[in-house]
Amino acid sequence: FMPGKMSFEEYFALDGYSFEDQVLKFIVGVSPCMMQRHYLLNRDSVNLFRKKVPSTVFGIEISAGVACTQALKLLLNRGDVTCAPRGLHFDAYLQKMRTTWRPFGNRNPLQRLMFWYIRRKLRPVESAEESAEPGAVPERAS
């Protein structure tokens, strides 16, 4: 995010949403092409009510390296940097990189559709666990 460009608030559009929906909107905003959806095998590894989402240290380290490089380019005034509503998405597991452009951020129709899709995929697991008594093991359908 850069001065004079789209702000964090404009891009992610989180105001007025529940905590769980804000997390989903953040995930969709950070990863607009959702490359990782193809290998998230265990849906149970995502539990927004318990603030549990899968991640690897490798992805975090790569992200930190890219962010530091972008900051250095700004400080040294050397070359362009990518800023919202454009983005870079590198998936080390798939060994692929995509550039994205989402005008209006999470208000973009593609983002709204992805938010709905992800919410629909993850909600059934969370709703069952949220309504269960503390300490109870959720039942699984056969």
Give the domain ranges of the chain.
Answer: 8-130
- Cβ proximity of 2 and 82 under 8 Å: no
- Who's near 24: CB < 8 A, 6+ residues apart? 48, 115, 118, 119, 122
The predicted-structure confidence for 41-79, as pLDDT tens digits, reads as follows: 566 777 766 777 767 778 889 889 999 999 999 999 999
State the pLDDT confidence band at 4, using cuts at 50, 70 and 90.
very high
According to the model, what pLDDT value does residue 98 have? 92
What value does the mean pLDDT take over residues 80-105? 91
Q: What is the DSSP string of 48-113?
A: GGGTB----HHHHHHHHHHHHHHHHHHHHT-S----TTEEEEEETTTTEEEEEE-TTGGGSHHHHH
Asked whether residue 136 carries a pLDDT value surpassing 60, the answer given is no
The predicted-structure confidence for 96-112, as pLDDT tens digits, reads as follows: 999 999 999 999 999 99
Strand partners, 86: 101
